Amino acid sequence: MNILSMLWKNLWGGNRTTLFPARPTVSKGYRGLVQFDPALCSGCAICKFRCTARAIEFKAGKGEFTWSYDPGQCTFCGRCVEGCAEHALKEGHAEHALSQESAPPPIYLHIGELKNAYTVKRKTTVKPAVKPDASPAVGAPAPNAATGGTQ
C-alpha cells in the first residue's frame, strides 16, 4: 500500500474509535478504598506484610508508629483487611467519586499524591498485678509429700 494513500485514509476517513464515556464505570470486583481506624490499630504491621502491592507502609518508633496507605498503588485485593485481627482496616464499599455523576473525577499529577499517613501512639498494655503464692497459714498442718494430703 502506498504511504500517501494510507495517510489520506487516516486523515480524512473519520473516527475509527469510539469515545470513552465521561466517567469510567466501576467494575463489579471493586471492593473499595481501604479505610483505617487508628483507634483500633495495635501496630502489629500484619497489614504491611500481607499487602502484595506494597501500598501500605509501616514505620515503628519509640512509643508511636506511622501507618500510610497509597490508593494509587493499591490493587484492592482485600488481603490487608482479612489479616487485621483488630478490625482497624475496612474496605469502603461505597463507589468511588469516579462513578458519581455530580463529582468530577479526582486528578493527581504526581506519584503518591493520594497517599494518606497516620501517626499513632502505641497502646500500653496493662499487666495484671502478680499475686504472691498462697502459703499455708501459720499453725496449719504441712502437706505430706508422699500422700499429697495433710498429716
Q: What residue segments make up the domains of the chain, in order of their start? A: 32-100+110-123
What is the pLDDT averaged over residues 32-52? 90
DSSP, res 97: G
What pLDDT does residue 25 have?
A: 65
Alpha-helical segments (H) within 1-151: 3-12, 46-50, 79-83
Global pTM exceeds 0.75: no
Give the confidence band of 98 by pLDDT, cuts at 50, 70, 90.
very low
Specify the residue for cell string 462513578: 99
Q: Please state which of the four CATH numbers 3.30.420.10, 3.30.230.10, 3.30.70.3270, 3.30.1330.10 is assigned to the domain occupying 32-100+110-123.
A: 3.30.70.3270
What pLDDT does residue 9 have?
A: 81
